[in-house]
Amino acid sequence: MFNCFEMRLSDDDIQKISTLGLAHLGDAVFELMVRAWLCENGGATSKGLHRAAVCYVSAPAQAEAAARILPRLTDDERAIYMRGRNAKVNSVPSHASLVQYHAATGLEALFGYIYLRGELDRLNVLFDIIMEEQNAS
């Protein structure tokens, strides 16, 4: 049976996935983590939860998050982030600059990569850094 909560793909299998494919998955992983964090930290209504989630998962917010964790990435993680950041995108949302959108894509690719490797503890460490520093500012 396919278990999407216990992924452990090999590096060879992950290399077969396009960078934008990793970002697509990583976007969902990051948003799920944000939504779970918001529920745990006292979001009251679904409307309030949605608005709060958007504040964390927008391209500008993800670009800031990427900047926070970049110094703490391993060489392999940094390489994946750079692959995502440098990926050719076809459009950029009006609320984000091209630089922000590329950085957000890098963060999403990184989260997709780490998730597919089954390194949930590492995802949690990076997410904790993002949320601690986000809430300290």
What are 1-11's pLDDT values in tens digits? Answer: 888 888 999 99
Compare 94 and 26 and report the one with higher pLDDT.
26
The confidence score (pLDDT) of residue 17 equals: 97
Q: For the residues 8-32, what does the mean pLDDT come to?
A: 96
Alpha helices in the chain (DSSP H): 11-15, 19-40, 46-57, 59-69, 75-85, 98-116, 120-136
The confidence score (pLDDT) of residue 133 equals: 64
12 close to 116: Cβ distance less than 8 angstroms:
no
Positions annotated as catalytic residues are 27
The confidence score (pLDDT) of residue 1 equals: 84
Report how far residue 131's alpha carbon sits from residue 118's, in angstroms, rounded to the nearest whole number. Answer: 21
What are 100-133's pLDDT values in tens digits? Answer: 999 999 999 999 999 999 999 999 999 999 998 6
Q: For the residues 36-40, what does the mean pLDDT come to?
A: 91
pTM of the model: 0.92
What percentage of the chain exceeds 90 in pLDDT?
A: 74
Query: For the chain, which domains are there?
Result: 12-28+59-136 (1.10.1520.10)
Report how far residue 64's alpha carbon sits from residue 50's, in angstroms, rounded to the nearest whole number. Answer: 20
Angle at 109 between CA 105 and CA 113, to 5 degrees: 170
pLDDT at 135 over 80: no
Dihedral over alpha carbons 76, 79, 81, 82 (to 10 degrees): 170
The confidence score (pLDDT) of residue 81 equals: 98
